[in-house]
Amino acid sequence: MPQKYTKTIMDTTFLPSDQPTMHRQEFFRLVGISIGAIVLKRCMIGCSDQVNGTPPPTPSQKVDFTLKLDDRANDNLKIKGGYVISNGVIVAQTKDGQYVAVSANCTHQNTQLVYKSVENQFYCPLHLSRFATNGDVIAGPAVVPLTQYIVEPNLTAGTIRIHN
Ligand code: FES
């Protein structure tokens, strides 16, 4: 007796819909615009932080604040070569354990500086100006020195006072 097979056919056709469909090119164009907008926004946020940040005090402005070493935000100051930026001032502990402080923004176009302990210099990541720990310009394009501040560490009390 011949065996009967039943055959199931799956329907893979899509039902017509009233919803408009999007062509592949249009889809990728919109995805590309969205990704571009996200990248642009992140770049603008990053750049604005880098260029503007906390404005440094003007050279004639009175500066007097104290950092507490037991504050987690200041943990880097416990490390030789570490630094923090506070109140527009960059405070660093040099490789030999000295504390130094200068205005935190480059005098060329106001970019926030970093401290490079290997060279014992403050460094501008935008156009690569370099400054000594007393604020003097080592390499341009910046020509105006940074403002140097007096640093009074009180390691018994666990504080560092920065003032002018
Ligand atoms: S902003 Fe620092 S060198 Fe230009």
Query: For the segment 100-157, what is each residue's pLDDT rounded down to a tens digit?
Result: 999 999 999 999 999 999 999 999 999 999 999 999 999 989 999 999 999 999 989 9
| Assigned domain for 16 exists | no
Identify which of 47, 50, 51, 108 to mutate to test ligand 1's pocket (most ligand atoms within 8 A of the CB).
108
Question: DSSP code of 141?
Answer: S
Domain region containing 75: 22-164
Return d(Cα 114, Cα 112) in angstroms, integer.
7
Residue 104 Cβ < 6 Å to ligand 1: no
Could you tell me the two tokens for 33?
A: 């615009």
| Assigned domain for 35 exists | yes
Atom of ligand 1 nearest to the CA of 142: 3
| Assigned domain for 114 exists | yes
| Assigned domain for 17 exists | no
pLDDT of residue 103: 94
Higher pLDDT, 96 or 53: 96
Residue 163: pLDDT band with limits 50, 70, 90: very high
pLDDT of residue 48: 41
The domain that contains 126 carries what CATH number?
2.102.10.10
Contact 125, 102 (CB under 8 A): no
**Number of structural domains the chain divides into:** 1
H-helix segments, the chain: 24-51
Flag whether pLDDT at 6 surpasses 70.
Answer: no
Task: Give nearest CA residue, ligand 1 atom 4.
Answer: 127
pLDDT of residue 155: 84
Atom of ligand 1 nearest to the CA of 124: 2
